[in-house]
Amino acid sequence: MIKQKTDSDCLRCCLSELLNIEYDLIPDFFKLYFNESCEGDSFNDNEFEINYDKWLKSQNLTRIVFDADFEDETLKMPYISDNYKCIGILQESGKPYTHAIIIKPLPNGDYYYEDPSLNDDADITTLIKIELLVKGIIK
């Protein structure tokens, strides 16, 4: 797993790993759409989503996003073939931003994940979304 070089490039690391694209060729979406004109730490989610999708389209990719949830310590999410790695989006309580990891469903309903952060301290129970990247859907 490619490890983060900054505290805001987790998505960039995950995309590099999943798509086998050099890290430096992937935009640092967080830094591009951080809104410094707002008070405090502010992130322009709408601008981020639009431009993230535009970049994916330039790679002949689209994303399908599912909600994910934990119930009794069991991850509840739609069925995804166990040979497919996805991007998992974590939202920790009290933090204004999300964190991206790579998650791979396993045949028994379990999962395996890789965290790009340097200290590998992702709390998987804060997983809120799963992004499947699919080739060739949009033109």
pLDDT tops 60 at residue 18: yes
pLDDT tops 90 at residue 107: no
Domains of the chain by residue range: 10-135
The predicted pLDDT at position 33 comes to: 59
> What b/e readout covers 61-77, taking b as 16+ CB neighbours within 10 angstroms?
bebeeeebeeeeeebeb
pTM for the full model? 0.85
